[in-house]
Amino acid sequence: MATRRAYGVALAKLGEASKRVVALDGDTKNSTFSETFKKAFPDRYIECFIAEQNMVGVAIGCATRDRTVAFASTFAAFFSRGYDQIRMGAISQSNVNLVGSHCGVSIGEDGPSQMALEDLAIFRAIPTCTVFYPSDAVSTERAVELSANTKGICFIRTSRPDNAVIYSPDEKFEVGIAKVVRQSDSDCVTVIGAGVTLHEALAAADMLASEGKNIRVIDPFTIKPLDAATIMASARATKGQIITVEDHYKEGGLGEAVLSAVGGEPGIVVTRLAVSGVPRSGKSTELLDMFGISAKHIANAVRQTFAN
Amino acid sequence: MEDYHKPDQQTVQALRNIANRLRINSIKATTAAGSGHPTSCCSVAEILSVLYFHSMKYRPEDPRNSNSDRFIMSKGHAAPALYSMWVETGFLKESELLSLCQVDSSLEGHPNPKQQIVDVATGSLGQGLGVACGMAYTGKYFDKSSYRVFCLLGDGEMSEGAVWEAMSFASYYQLDNLVAIMDINRLGQCDAAPLQHHVEKYQKRCEAFGVEELCKALSQPRHQPTAIIAKTIKGKGIPAAEDKLGWHAKTLPKDMAEMVTKDLQSRIMNSSKHLYPPSPVEDSPPVSLRNIRMPSAPSYKTGEKIATRKAYGMALAKIGRYNERVVVLDGDTNNLTCSDIFKNEHPNRFVECYIAQQNMVSVAMGCAARERNVVFASTLAAFFTRAYDQLRMAAISECDINLCGSHCGLSTGEEGPALMALEDVAMFRALPTATIFYPCDGVSTEKAVELAAMTKGVCYIRTSRQDSAIIYNSNEDFHVGEAKVVYQGKDDQVTVVAAGVTLHEALAAAEHLKKERISVRVIDPFTIKPLDVKTIIDNTRATRGRILTVEDHYYEGGLGEAVSSALINEPGLNQVRLAVSHVPRSGKPHELLKIYGIDRDSIAQSIRKMLSSSTNAK
């Protein structure tokens, strides 16, 4: 199930639990799946049409004086349209929740104008922000619940393509706590991915296992705050080798967040895979490959660490 | 309407045929791709046919010709319709259409300027009209030539505020060479657009903004931009989809596509008329943007004090003196950004954009299109966040624009955090085509302006509010991606990398620490992107691997993270970072620098700590 679809299911579920949950969208509800909430609670859904600045402002307004728990969604790329409003939202100590779908090159054919590749950077730079990047349906649902209960600006990054459910329904999630989703006694590298690239990392782990090599795979769950302790512990257990892989540009995203977390620790080597240069239209899987963040590239990067 | 000559029957039939071929091609292409927006293409078929084969004067064999009328498909998702027009002109091959969206095709899901037929990328809605304004402004006031600019908008996107910023601008500047065509097909992505088919409401809104509706305009002399409000049917030509919800971005399944295209084909009547677009008037002046240089070296003297924002204004005026295609835009902040210095000297090349930063960035892109101008646009750095989607699209559009943001960081002082840019370096670093200049004094600011003018892509110059000392000689050479070591001694213990206001704080800290027999080296990166990785690494190695970064910016995405990225995998290096960690408050600048831990005392204290922990480690 795509995490975008899981968002819709989760929001409707949350809306069932609390009458104060309201949802907003910018004429993309059938893409972001906020329509699932709308169908269940039409009176608590606000269509903002194609006007993202205003949608963010309206969401902030809805959340003032604790009148509602507001979730506003659109394509992650279009939150760039409302960035000044988001910046002011932090200065205003707003508790608004923003959900951006269609992140990264994994959206495929529609091309770069619809792809968010800088959203992790801009949301990380917001002081009061918590950045969730759930990798499956279960963790998406937990992210929605946590956002509703976390102060400040919460951003949840969802993806377009379907992917496997990897967590059991009773897995507990917390802000700033990563999950080690694959490990063994003889892991040689720690690979950190999120969303689409977490699944690519798992696929790479399978490829490498068949070559007799094991890797540890970490799902950060929240990019901000980042679980530095888990990452460090894992790095130490894997001879200091870390590979980060993200469906995002190199600057300001998962890779730089990890660098900031492990920076200064001796003996840690970090290899970063990310999208470089403006991408293009194509099939989702072809683009992941073309822009160096697919399972094949992750496996190559792992093999490269042996060579060095 | 005496000026209006109704086209003859043969011409009308030929235009109808082209429209139906557009429908056929859009359906075929999107069905083959399994992706795209055929119903959005179908509603604009007649509009495009008339524009491309009747109204616009252009050279089909030279899509970027400087004399040609310009066209912007603001509703970018109708890309296949645009591509179909260029198949009709013969510039593109019909077979190429079937490769739409494929990973090796030049025809992507939304228009981008890798294709000659596109000036700026669209796909993020509501931005095209602003760019069209920039092109029209250039045509009317800079080129003073006859070309017109046409922009096609969808009704869904007219909810975007940026559209109305553009309307205001167009009417204020009497851009009578601009025509906005609105495809009112009633349906958005999920629901009907708010005004549905109430074209009279659109008319009233346009008129309220000073934009004349076509029929009225034709009968009077035109001093205002024009809008054509077209009442259309989404999915026209696809019976199952006409005016129906649920068909946005839906491609036709193969058998339906075949049936529909067969029906459309049958409506294509033989016409003896072969239409060819009329030629443009060749009255656009030749322009060369190579060699935009400063006429002389900076004239500042060491020890003088000037704010980098003022140095920016003076540099602009200087470069504008000898290069008449340098134009400057501002968002009602010219006395703060100091672009007023340029304005006072070259008023005809200054474009006031008022408090509408999104539109300002789009207009800048339009002015820079087809290499007509070297454009500088300025406002307070914090307000470029207002235009981040436009900046994102500028990178995708491969635009060459120069932006200057003043009042960066805590140096803004008393006005408080609403006016402080503390995330701007992060947002510009994440743009693929960006170069980020963060000059610390008047000399380097002037050099930054000159370099920005010559550097492709989105160039961003970050300036500060308060005065700072001149530290460079006038004949110092500066390059993009080249840092300067501005303070060093023998046996330096720590390398400090700082910029703008924190560079001066670092110098003060260095002087102070000298008295404690602690010797440090200070580096001015000059450009944060690209960063001079080699200089930073070499100097850090020379200072026993110790490096401290200090920035007037939040921790995330700025100078500190740029340096960490650079030092990645260099063994034995230890970086400490100072930055602003919380939303700040109002106060005197020097007080704020202290409270948020990026002033000279904090720097000195950090250095002492780094040295004592090294000693302890030993």
Structure tokens at B366: 């339009």
| Nearest alpha carbon to residue B445 among B414, B416, B402, B398 | B402
Closest-CA residue in chain A for B187? A27
In angstroms, the separation between the Cα of residue B584 and the nearest Cα of chain A is 9
Question: What region, left, alpha or beta, does residue B175 occupy, with left being phi > 0 and alpha being psi -120 to 50 degrees?
Answer: beta
Question: Which stretches of B236-387 are assigned E, i.e. beta strand?
Answer: 305-307, 326-330, 350-352, 374-380
Kind and range of the H or E run holding B257: helix B254-266
The predicted pLDDT at position A265 comes to 85
The predicted pLDDT at position A145 comes to 98
DSSP state of A179: E
The residues that bridge with B552 in the sheet, in sequence order, are: none
**Does the pLDDT of residue A34 top 60, yes or no?**
yes
**Does the pLDDT of residue A207 top 60, yes or no?**
yes
Peptide bond into B111 cis (omega under 30): no
Q: Which A residues 222-261 touch B at CB under 8 Å?
A: 224, 249-253, 255-257, 259-260
Running along chain B, 618 residues long, what does each successive block of 10 average in pLDDT?
A: 72 94 97 96 96 95 96 97 96 94 94 95 96 96 96 96 97 96 94 94 92 65 87 96 96 97 94 90 93 93 95 98 96 97 98 97 98 98 98 98 98 94 98 98 98 98 97 97 96 97 98 96 98 98 97 98 92 94 96 97 98 78
Measured between beta carbons, the chain A residues lying within 8 angstroms of B558 are 125
Measured between beta carbons, the chain A residues lying within 8 angstroms of B190 are 27-30, 35
In contact, B379 and B360? CB cutoff 8 Å? yes
The predicted pLDDT at position B219 comes to 53
Q: Supply angle C-alpha B47, B49, B51, rounded to 5.
A: 70
Range with the poorest average pLDDT among A42-56, A164-178, A263-277, B173-187: A263-277
**Does the pLDDT of residue A17 top 70, yes or no?**
yes
Structure tokens at A50: 């194609």
* Mean pLDDT score across all residues of chain A: 97
Count CB atoms within 10 A of the CB of residue B34: 13
Q: What is the pLDDT of residues A263-284, one digit of tens each?
A: 878 889 999 999 999 999 999 9
Instruction: List the catalytic residues of A.
Output: 52
In contact, B213 and B24? CB cutoff 8 Å? no
The predicted pLDDT at position B1 comes to 43
Structure tokens at A126: 């917001």
Note whether A124 contacts B: Cβ–Cβ < 8 A.
yes
Measured between beta carbons, the chain A residues lying within 8 angstroms of B114 are 280
Q: Can you tell me whether residue A228 is helix, strand or coil?
A: helix
Nearest to A256 among B103, B188, B564 (CB): B564
ipTM of the assembly?
0.96
Measured between beta carbons, the chain A residues lying within 8 angstroms of B432 are 249, 276-278
Distance CA B365, CA B387 (A): 12
Closest-CA residue in chain A for B394? A113
Q: Are strands B527-529 and B434-437 parallel, antiparallel or unpaired?
A: antiparallel
Q: Report, as an integer, the average pLDDT of A51-57.
A: 97
Size of interface A-B (CB pairs under 8 A): 212
Structure tokens at B531: 């960063």
What confidence tier does A304 reach under pLDDT thresholds 50, 70, 90?
very high
DSSP state of B182: E
The predicted pLDDT at position B221 comes to 59
Q: Can you tell me whether residue B91 is helix, strand or coil?
A: coil
Distance CA B441, CA B300 (A): 10
The predicted pLDDT at position B2 comes to 47
Q: Report, as an integer, the average pLDDT of A21-46.
A: 97
* Phi, psi torsion values for B477, nearest 5 degrees: -90, 135
The predicted pLDDT at position B200 comes to 94
- Give the helix, strand, coil percentages of chain B, each rounded to 5: 45, 15, 40
Q: Does the beta-carbon distance from A84 to B123 stay under 8 Å?
A: no
Note whether B448 contacts A: Cβ–Cβ < 8 A.
no
The predicted pLDDT at position B217 comes to 56
Q: Can you tell me whether residue B554 is helix, strand or coil?
A: strand
